[in-house]
Amino acid sequence: MNDDEAKVEDSAEAPDEGSTADAVAELERELEEVRQTVLYAQAETQNVRRRLEQEKLNAAQYAASGFARDMLSVKDNLERALAAIPADLREDERMKALVTGIEATGRELENVFQRHGIARIEAMGAKLDPHFHQAMIEVPSDEAEPGTIVQEMQAGYTIKERLLRPALVGVAKKP
């Protein structure tokens, strides 16, 4: 073999080794990119699964919110009916059964609310919390500190720690 043939042979081997190394490096880089893509896809799938499970749980817990909100007006009307009955009619033997029936219905409705996680928001004497109270009026008051609830116009309710209806309240202000 002469020198020219050896040079041709060496030059033929050198680019093949270099291009093979480049090809391997390129494939390793592509493999790492694919690994990262797969990891991101797995993480996204896991996040979607968690989100769907949370939405399913919320749907189960709060599915009755609309119905419960509608039942609050029934409770309000029962309370108004009881408040409208004068004391002398409450003692009348003919009306006693009616009053007792309305009171029993109110208690049963309250029990149903408790079983389903519906709770009344305590407002009187509390500080105004815009997450649970809606201020309707300001009432001049010497006794109460400004921002304190001194009047409740309509009771507010939560369902399992989520607001169902805000309490409509009157808030104290400086006279």
Tokens of 107: 């208690």
In tens, the pLDDT along 49-63 reads 999 999 888 887 778
CATH number of the domain at 118-175, please?
2.30.22.10
Contact 152, 134 (CB under 8 A): no
**Cβ–Cβ contacts within 10 Å for residue 165, how many?**
20
> Which residue, among 87, 72, 88, has the nearest Cα to 154 in the 3D structure?
72
pTM, rounded to two decimals: 0.66
Tokens of 94: 């003919």
Mean per-residue pLDDT, 105-117:
93
Confidence label for 175 from pLDDT (cuts 50, 70 and 90): confident
Q: What are the helix (H) ranges across 116-159?
A: none
Cα 47 to chain centroid, rounded: 18
pLDDT at residue 5 tops 70: no
- pLDDT at res. 94: 87
- Residue pointed to by tokens 């081997």: 13
Report domain extents, the chain. 1-63, 64-116, 118-175
pLDDT at residue 161 tops 90: no
In tens, the pLDDT along 23-80 reads 999 999 999 999 999 999 999 999 999 999 998 888 877 788 888 899 999 999 999 9
Tokens of 116: 């389903």
